Amino acid sequence: MRQITLYRQFGWPAPRYLHLPLVLNHDGNKLSKQNHAPPLPEGDPRPVPAAALRFLGQSVAKSWHDLSVAALLQHAIGDWKCKKSQ
């Protein structure tokens, strides 16, 4: 709440907050280095953000295979639906 008060004091619009689900492995542990999660695969990085977007219930550009990572993320930002990720 303190952060929102600061935004109001400066006359800035407060951000909207969203709690996203943890990604868990088959044992119910969160995916993290601490829990020895496997590293992301080397090579083409585009499948990783596409899979993450699907996990969060977001749409993925049909042509994501043809997009750069930056364009894929830009599409995701423009098409983000908070209600799908809750």
1, 52, 56, 3 alpha-carbon torsion, rounded to 10°: 10
Annotate the chain with DSSP letters as a single string: -HHHHHHHHHTPPPPPP-PPPPPB-TTS-B-SGGGTPPPPPSS--THHHHHHHHHTT----TTGGGS-HHHHHHHHHHH--GGGG-
For the segment 58-79, what is each residue's pLDDT rounded down to a tens digit? 999 899 999 999 999 999 999 9
Class of domain 2-85: alpha beta
pLDDT confidence band for 83 (50 / 70 / 90): confident
pTM for the model: 0.72
Segments making up each domain of the chain, as ranges? 2-85
Position 53 scores a pLDDT of 93
CB 58 within 8 A of CB 81: yes
For the segment 15-61, what is each residue's pLDDT rounded down to a tens digit? 888 888 889 999 999 999 999 998 988 999 999 999 999 999 999 98
pLDDT confidence band for 86 (50 / 70 / 90): low
Position 85 scores a pLDDT of 74
List the end-to-end C-alpha distance of the chain, in Å, as a whole number: 21
